[in-house]
Amino acid sequence: MRHLSLIALALATPLAAMSQTTVFSDNFTTDSSLGSEWYNMTNSSSVTTVLNPTAGQGLDLTNTAGSTGKTDEEFAKFAATPVTLATAGDYLSLTVNFNSFNVSGNTGGLLVGLYNTQGTVATGNLLATGTGGATADDTGYFGIMGFNTSAGTSTKFYSRQGGASDANELGYYSSMTANSFTQVGSSFAATGNGNLANSTAYTLIYTVTLGSGGTTNTFVIDQGATVVDSWSVTDASNTNNVFNELDFGDYGHNAAIDMNISSIQVVDDIQAVPEPSTIALSGIALAGLAIRRRWMRK
């Protein structure tokens, strides 16, 4: 009976436990939210960011009049120790709650990304068209997601290789240095875009999942319980699996866009590596079970 108890105990012990952890969160309710970890990245002096603690607003990305075709995004280091996706099934997920009073009818897109700072952390706001800044060597994944179907922007996702002398841009490929990024998967036509309405609360969930056949990037935009749009692409080369930086913003293609980020959160789910003693115990259990079955057949 003692042997059977040992077998039962070992078989009941998981070889790899999954544990979802909140890595970072911010609801932008106080000025301290904009500490040394949050910075604004633009490709024009006509776009800015301000903190507005009013409920439903938070971090306000402001495109001034005439800033057609301009990008405006916030980026931040979300973890002191980078999150590593090492085992198939590990994932990292970024959730952004946002709204805009002038997004309807615009033909632009949302910008989002998860990166590795490579140890060169930003210390101030950056102009996307500059080169050799703190974010120039960042690696990771990013996308531009078109909203609104009428003559809208197509949706594209990329892997960023970066380089010490590259452009500082993170979430928008047009301002990046050539050959510092590659497209993952195919573009999604603008005709398939969902439509975003003015002054409406939306949630973007961006998840990077490591798999045996590649790293999958999944993007979902929800309005409450309703899915407005979703996309999924897989990087078969598993190029990037270490992350400690995020960004989110907007690209106003035919008109200025003001975007409010009311809250943001990053969670991960990493499989714990089993202790050698656990592996050995499980092996003993399986061997013991096989012996017991053979004994019972005699």
- Of the listed ranges 49-58, 200-209, 238-247, the one predicted with least confidence: 49-58
Q: Which residue has the tokens 């490579």?
A: 118
Q: Is pLDDT at 133 greater than 90 in this prediction?
A: yes
CA distance 47 to 71: 8
- How far apart are alpha carbons 28 and 59 in whole angstroms? 6
Percent of the chain as helix, strand, coil, to the nearest 5: 15, 45, 45
**Above 50 in pLDDT, residue 5?**
no
Handedness of CA 19, 20, 26, 27 (dihedral sign): negative
What is d(CA 79, CA 222) in angstroms, rounded to the nearest whole number?
A: 26
When pLDDT is cut at 50, 70 and 90, the band that residue 289 belongs to is very low
What global pTM score does this model have? 0.85
Separation between Cα atoms, residue 71 and residue 40, nearest integer Å: 11
Given its phi and psi angles, is residue 289 left (phi above 0), alpha (psi -120 to 50 degrees) or beta?
alpha
pLDDT value for 68 = 80
Q: Residue 265: name the closest of 93, 50, 89 by CA.
A: 93
Question: Tell me, what's the pLDDT at 17?
Answer: 54
Q: For residues 84 and 289, is the Cβ–Cβ distance under 8 A?
A: no
For residue 42, the model assigns a pLDDT of 87
Per-residue model confidence (pLDDT) at position 43: 83
Position 11 pLDDT exceeds 80: no
**What's the pLDDT at 95?**
98
Give the pLDDT confidence score for residue 3 in this predicted structure: 46
Confidence of residue 265 (pLDDT cuts 50, 70, 90): very high
Distance CA 64, CA 72 (A): 11
pLDDT band at 132 (very low <50, low <70, confident <90, very high): very high
Q: Greater confidence, 117 or 6?
A: 117
Catalogue all structural domains in the chain, each as residue range(s) with its CATH number: 1-17+272-298 (no CATH), 18-271 (2.60.120.200)
Residue whose tokens read 């990087």: 235
Residue 163: pLDDT band by 50, 70, 90 thresholds?
very high
pLDDT value of position 27: 86
Write the pLDDT tens digit of every residue in 37-73: 788 898 877 777 777 766 667 888 887 766 688 889 9
pLDDT at 8 over 50: no
Share of the chain above pLDDT 90, in %: 59
Query: How far is 113 from 11, CA to CA, in rounded Å?
Result: 40
- Return the structure tokens found at 250: 């907007």
